[in-house]
Amino acid sequence: MYQKRINEYGITVGRLPRGSRNKITDVAGVLVGHKTIDNEQNKTGVTVIVPAPGNVYDQKLPAAAFVWNGYGKTAGLMQIDELGVLETPIALTNTMNVGLVWDGLVEYAARQCAQDGIELYSLNPVVGECNDSRINNILHRAVQPEHVLEAIESASADFEEGAVGAGRGTICHGLKGGVGSASRVVMLDGKKYTLGVLAQSNHGKLEDLTVDGMRLGEGLAVRDLGVTANRGSTIIVMATDLPCSPRQLGRILRRASVGLARLGSYVAHGSGEVMIGFTTARRIPNRPTSDILPSQEMNEIRIDLAFRAIAEATEEAVLNSMVCAEPCPRLDGETVHSLKEFL
């Protein structure tokens, strides 16, 4: 499905080259799937990032998380902080659906481990959330565990952006938010590495919106477009094939905040900004055959390249989430407009 993305409006974000798709799935092995719920009362869904082929519980990935503002209900961060590994796909949904989506990830892992003959006795599902209650009747908890399985089943390298999946009911800088993605390519020791971002955008005030260095939101705010509250959260998921330790992943994730700040976010009280990231550069066996495991990490003298990459990719991913989203009615009947109407 063709979608007009932010660069096609003549807006270029940053300096680094993009990946071939300019999506998180430019990192080899990463797939993304959606399940969208769209009816009169419920406009919500689930988006799942499948981080690598095979059984992620049995072959884990180095991971990290960063909470810029903790007004959120994301599940699974405590164990990531402690152990530095990811062992399930990452699911994104609405605030009140975290539990049911968590159940869906458990069911997926249970089925996969049973099929692979692996004993599953503990699991750390990772579920991020945004509050979409201005567009979606959030108390219905419309996303069910089977919807998570459907999203995983549909996961692919080329996925839709905008008001789909977990982004169906989100609002960003007073305009329609959604799910968006972008990627950047960096060179280390003569080899190409990729860093990709997927954003579930649901933050910011209209008057603060800055696009391509222009304070676009100030001019739009005088039109009284009807959405003024700065609440709801934004989740940033980063994938990379750079060889990184969990500590380095955490350092890189912190720079996603630069991309959000460039757009005009000041991280409001009611907006939980959470970043989750992993590297596919190596797998960590659940059943190791050796007491010592090999590991590589990038030279931190060169880590500024990754800092720039995530800042640029985050900014562009949020903009893609907005321009790929169509206008949408709120539950109160008012319209949430799309950024593309004003570019």
Find all residues with CB under 8 Å of 201, minimum gap 6, and list them.
Answer: 167, 170, 172, 177, 178, 179, 180, 234, 318, 321, 322
In a domain, 1, yes or no: no
Q: What is the mean pLDDT of residues 238-246?
A: 98
Return the pLDDT at 224: 65
Q: Give helix 145-153 / helix 98-116 axis angle, nearest 10°.
A: 60
Take residue 153 and report the two structure tokens written for it.
Answer: 């089943």
Mean local confidence (pLDDT), 11-35: 98
Residue 335 has pLDDT above 90, yes or no: yes
- Above 60 in pLDDT, residue 218? yes
* Domains of the chain: total: 1
Report the CATH number at residue 136.
3.60.70.12
Check whether 228 has a pLDDT greater than 90: no
pLDDT of residue 226 exceeding 60:
no
Mean pLDDT over 36-52 rounds to 98
The pLDDT, as a whole number, for residue 39 is 96
Kindly report, residue by residue over 261-290, the tens digit of the pLDDT: 999 998 889 889 999 999 999 999 999 899
Q: What is the pLDDT of residues 71-86, one digit of tens each?
A: 999 999 999 999 999 9
Q: Is residue 116 one of the residues assigned to a domain?
A: yes
Residue 76: which domain range? 14-284+297-334
Question: Is the residue at 210 inside a domain?
Answer: yes
**Separation of alpha carbons 127 and 258, rounded Å:** 23
- pLDDT for 230 equals 63
267 CB-side CA count, 13 A: 17
Q: Is 290 helix (H, G, I), strand (E, B) or coil?
A: coil
Q: Two tokens at 276?
A: 């989750």
pLDDT tens-place string over residues 127-162: 999 999 999 999 999 999 999 999 999 999 999 999
pLDDT at 69: 94
What is residue 223's predicted lDDT score, i.e. its pLDDT?
73
Tell me the average pLDDT of the chain: 96
Residue 339 lies in a domain: no
Do the domain assignments include residue 290?
Answer: no
Band of residue 333 on the pLDDT scale cut at 50, 70, 90: very high
In the chain, pLDDT over 70 holds for what percent of residues? Answer: 97
Q: Report yes or no on 2 lying in a domain.
A: no
Spatial contact of 132 and 98, defined as CB atoms under 8 Å apart: no
- Counting residues of the chain whose pLDDT is more than 90, the rounded percentage is 92
Q: What pLDDT shows up at residue 268? A: 87
Q: Where are the alpha helices (DSSP H) in 77-120?
A: 77-83, 98-116
Q: What's the pTM value of the predicted model, to 2 decimals?
A: 0.97
Tokens 């280390």, located at residue: 188
Residue 292 placed within a domain: no
Mapping DSSP to helix (H, G, I), strand (E, B) and coil, where does residue 115 land? helix
pLDDT digits (tens, 9 = 90+) for 155-182: 999 999 999 999 999 999 999 999 999 9
Q: Say if 343 falls within a structural domain.
A: no
Give pLDDT, residue 219. Answer: 87
